[in-house]
Structure 1
Amino acid sequence: MEYRNLGNSGLKVSEIGLGSWLTYGTAVEKEKSIACIHKAYELGINFFDTANAYNRGAAEVVLGEALKEYSRSSYVLATKVYFPMGDGPNDKGLSRKHIIEQCDASLKRLGVDYIDLYQCHRYDSDTPVEETLRALDDLTSQGKILYAGVSEWTAEQITDAAHVAKEKNLRPIISNQPIYNMIVRYIEKEVLPVSEKHGMGQVVFSPLAQGILTGKYKAGQDIPSTSRAANQETNRWITSYLNDEVLTSVQKLENMAQALGIQLSQLALAWVLRQPGVSSAIIGASRPEQVEENIKASGFKIPETILDEIESVLAEINGFVPIW
């Protein structure tokens, strides 16, 4: 496993991170979840990502239980705040009240004294950015969090936050967590260059496009019965990828991977990590074997000629936007 600095900070995260969206505390049994987390740790993954909103805290509980046997200083623990955690008017968003209360709740569920990376899960247009940044700054001063990040913020929102932090002498945001993969590339135009300008690294989610970039789905064939797309609880985000145009292009990418002697998933992850602004690619796993396969992408350099061929294939589906 290779490691990268998270933005301009001194924090080092594994190139492959393990996430818990749609998996732990939700669709994957607890024992299997813990087995995946333990396998990831054993293979050098030190970056573990979750959120309070993942099954209303259940994912945090599972992750915390799995990691409790390891030295706290040996891993980087990330969670998030924003989405509703109750029915009241203050049970959501990025107000000072919600951030402080949810940080304490996450700490209890995770069973730790501090969170390494506390992320704003979305942008809150109802709360002044300064209020949000001050709350995060205070949590850092209190030692409850070490760094702050955001998720799916636009280039404009990132720029505004960076300016407010500098003007008010507040600790800067060090990361953004956007969707990024071979099929969904919107961050390349503005988010990546703006983030790099302000010293922020990307910890990208869905680098395998909900499993599309593993090659398990084929054009003109039925959906595998054991796949995520066949699970009514977790297939909400994958169905928009399932069209023959996308799957035909994916087959071409798989042929390239085979020619290189690697799996399509490894090619897809290495392609994401080709961007110097990407600090980590967050995978999901329901079986330890998936973790073993995916970590082989760390450190793999795609030949320039193959990168050019990939661009030609991706041009066929340029502009594709999944339901998000």
Structure 2
Amino acid sequence: MTDHRPFGRTGVKVSPLCLGTMMFGARGNQDHSDSVRIIHRALDAGINFVDTADVYSAGESETIVGKALAGGRRDNVVLATKVHGSLGNDPNEQGNSRRWIIREVESSLRRLGTDWIDLYQVHRPEPGTDFDETLGALTDLVRQGKIRYIGTSTFEPSAIVEGQWIAERRGRERVVAEQPPYSLLARGIEREVLPVAQRYGLAVLSWSPLAGGWLSGSYRRGAAQPDSSRAARQAERFDITAPENAAKLDAAEALAQLADEAGLTLVQLALSFVLEHPAVTSAIIGPRTFEQLESQLGADRIRLTQDVLDRIDKIVPPGTNLSAQDAGYTPPAIGEAALRRRPRS
């Protein structure tokens, strides 16, 4: 593991690779003991940053992380989790309201087996909820010592700026980190999200640096459709025969050839590319198996040459998302037709 990086302006230092745990539990590796061993291997390799969420396998991922950090490992780990997604049939068991946040943080603390969460993140925006309501609840949790820092995930640039404005004008704790999707195939955040994060001194931990598996090396022209639980859940995003995915398949093929010429695996190329951007603090890796973890460890020690970076820019131009589905969030102003059309009399 290379030198740790500053986590924004907090004074905290984190590893360039962050261990994501979405694939531990019912939606991935269902063997708790095996998942714990994978987490321990990552920690032993120098990773000190672990990211999870309450909705990952309905809390099971947090429970597994709690098991892995028991016995003295907790103090040396920067632990992040998230709140927002639905965890029940009750309409109030989700979202960004004070009511839900104050209740759900207690459940996360219990599952994680800890007294505090280092980074508590709002998993997605919720335009119908005043963000001051959300920040007010999170500020109270910081002052109670239950969380240390506040983060967001997949927020639009304007929402990131609004959060900073609210904190300054209304005396709230400041959001210190943003977690956006970023990969060789999804470079849209280079336009505004990353520059805004730099302007306000936010840490950036990018999710899906392997583009949901498109950059694992399995998606190649002429190959069979890779079998994965993620593809089963989101067939339209991962179907290699779908016309809307043709650009991603072409790019994955070209990038795989570039990686081979550079003496790298496609996984190494993908991760080192994300870590090359000066605004990125950590790239979240999400292994399900030991083999997947081992294939990703060490990518933070690779520096891509200017020639390789220039060739990447020709394959996927800077600021480009090859598929709108990879943006991670569709603002209501785009996704809801009623917001784009004048009402009929």
User: TM-score per shorter chain, which class?
Assistant: over 0.9
Alignment check: 8 A CA contact 1:27 1:234 kept: no
* Misfit runs of 4+, over 6 Å: none
The corresponding residue for 2:316 is 314
Of residues 141, 163, 180, the one that matches 2:182 is 180
User: Which 10-residue stretch deviates more, 179-188 or 15-24?
Assistant: 15-24
Alignment partners' CA distance in 2, 1:146 and 1:241: 45
Alignment check: 8 A CA contact 2:273 2:304 kept: yes
Alignment check: 8 A CA contact 2:23 2:287 kept: no
Give the C-alpha shift of residue 59 in structure 1. 1.0
Residues 1:318 and 1:158: Cα distance change in structure 2 (over 3 Å): closer
1:147 aligned counterpart, secondary structure: strand
Q: Does 1:10 align with 2:30?
A: no
Matching of residues 11-160 of structure 1 within 5 Å: 11-30=12-31, 31-160=33-162
Q: Scaled by the length of structure 1, what TM-score is found?
A: 0.93
1:307 aligned counterpart, secondary structure: helix
Give the C-alpha shift of residue 158 in structure 1. 0.6
Of residues 276, 282, 285, the one that matches 1:283 is 285
Alignment partners' CA distance in 2, 1:113 and 1:180: 31
Which runs of 5 or more residues in structure 1 are unaligned? Answer: none
The code of the aligned residue for 1:17 comes to: C
Aligned residue pairs total 322
Alignment check: 8 A CA contact 1:183 1:317 kept: no
For residues 259-283 of structure 1, give each alpha carbon's deviation from its aligned partner in whole angstroms, at most 9, with x where no partner exists.
2222111111110011111111001
Matching of residues 211-250 of structure 1 within 5 Å: 211-225=213-227, 227-228=228-229, 232-233=232-233, 237-239=237-239, 243-250=245-252
Alignment check: 8 A CA contact 1:179 1:207 kept: yes
Alignment check: 8 A CA contact 1:183 1:320 kept: yes
For residues 199-221 of structure 1, give each alpha carbon's deviation from its aligned partner in whole angstroms, at most 9, with x where no partner exists.
11111110001111121121122
Residues 1:7 and 1:261: Cα distance change in structure 2 (over 3 Å): same
Give the C-alpha shift of residue 29 in structure 1. 2.3
Residues 1:189 and 1:71: Cα distance change in structure 2 (over 3 Å): same
Identical aligned residues as a percent: 37
Residues 1:7 and 1:238: Cα distance change in structure 2 (over 3 Å): farther
The code of the aligned residue for 1:86 comes to: G
Q: Scaled by the length of structure 2, what TM-score is found?
A: 0.87
The code of the aligned residue for 2:123 comes to: H
Which runs of 5 or more residues in structure 2 are unaligned? Answer: 329-345
Alignment check: 8 A CA contact 1:26 1:58 kept: no
